[in-house]
Amino acid sequence: MADTGSARAQILGGIRKALNSAEGSEEARRRLATHPRNLIPARAQLPHDRQVELFAAMATEVSATVELLGGMAEVPAAVADYLAGLNLPAEVRVAPDAALDPIPWDQRPTLTVTKGRARDSDGASLTGAFAGVAETGTLMLLSGAERPTTLNFLPDTHIVVLKRGQIVGTMEDAWDRLRAAGGADGGRGALPRTVNFITGPSRTGDIEMRIELGAHGPRRLHILLVED
């Protein structure tokens, strides 16, 4: 690509000429540094309890299912019962995420638990989440060594463990938490390779505008909302 440099120079030069700007703008650099918020809808500006309710209501509206649990100890039974209730195999592929270590899987020996990235044969996955966004019932998941992205998309059933305290009002609140966590990626301040915002299971309306679930990604999204 010998001419990439000149293409770059020409495009930027053309823009500067049209804008009458020689060396970029201080205002723009300030915006990048301070990332001011835009208008935030009032909907999710609520006390935390109400944000949790809103999250569950919005997630349910988009065909996710939400189950409330008293603690991580209840997760194995909840997963086993959920899969059994749908006549699905008692197998789950789990993210090798330290945040999920407190789950006592050995309490349910009939449930086959393996850890790692998703394989084609995996029917159900279980992951954690970084945050839940109340405004739209959206889950925010980050990629990382312990959090393979394929788990969010390849299996037919995606089960997510979300702590109540992880629920925030808006996407902006979630970004702030991520920034406070140093980008949650070794403190480099950069975003993880992939940030997935997931609002309900996969869907398509491409055939005669009828909404069907499970187009390419999971057809079921089950959220285990766990007390802190």
Partner 1 sequence: MQPTTHAFPENARKALSDERLQKVLAIAPAGFVNRRKQAADRLPEFEALRDQGRDLKNHVLANLDTYLEAFESKVTEQGGHVHWCRTDQEARDAILGICRKVGAKTVTKGKSMISEEIGINDYLESNGLTPIETDLGEYIIQLRREPPSHIIAPAFHLSKADVEGTFRQAHTDLPADRVLDEPKVLIAEARQVLRRKFQQADVGITGANIMVAETGSTVIVTNEGNGDLTQTLPRVHVVIATIDKVVPTLEDAALVLRLLARSATGQEASAYTTFSTGPRRPGDLDGPEEFHVVLLDNGRSALLGTEFQDVLRCIRCGACMNHCPVYGSVGGHAYGWVYPGPIGSVMQPALLGVKEAGHLPNASTFCGRCEAVCPMRIPLPKMMRHWREKEFEQNLQPAAMRRGLALWGWFARRPALYHAATRMAVRALGALGRGKGRFASLPLAQGWTQHRDMPAPEGKTFQQMWAEKKLAEKKGKR
- Applying the rule CB under 8 A, the residues between 54 and 113 that interact with partner 1 are 58, 61-62, 96
Least distance between partner 1 and beta carbon 188 (Å): 9
Decide if 224 contacts 162 (C-beta within 8 A). Answer: yes
201 interacts with partner 1 by CB under 8 A: yes
Distance CA 25, CA 215 (A): 44
Of 53, 67, 91, 175, which lies in the binding site for partner 1, with binding defined by CB under 8 A? 175
Least distance between partner 1 and beta carbon 124 (Å): 16
The smaller minimum CB distance to partner 1, of residues 38 and 87, is found at 38
Of 31, 84, 89, 101, which lies in the binding site for partner 1, with binding defined by CB under 8 A? 31
Question: What are residue 29's phi and psi, to 5 degrees?
Answer: -65, -35
Least distance between partner 1 and beta carbon 101 (Å): 17
Distance CA 85, CA 159 (A): 14
Decide if 181 contacts 202 (C-beta within 8 A). Answer: no
Question: What are residue 205's phi and psi, to 5 degrees?
Answer: -120, 25
- Taking contact as CB under 8 A, which single stretch among the options 27-35, 46-54, 84-92, 161-169 is the one that binds partner 1? 27-35
Decide if 111 contacts 92 (C-beta within 8 A). Answer: yes
Of 125, 127, 143, 157, which lies in the binding site for partner 1, with binding defined by CB under 8 A? 143
The smaller minimum CB distance to partner 1, of residues 76 and 201, is found at 201
117 interacts with partner 1 by CB under 8 A: yes
Of 81, 112, 216, 227, which lies in the binding site for partner 1, with binding defined by CB under 8 A? 216
CB atoms within 10 A of CB 223: 24
11 interacts with partner 1 by CB under 8 A: yes
128 interacts with partner 1 by CB under 8 A: no
Q: How many CA atoms lie within 13 A of 50 on its CB side?
A: 6
Sequence-distant (≥ 6) Cβ neighbours of residue 182 within 8 angstroms: 188, 189
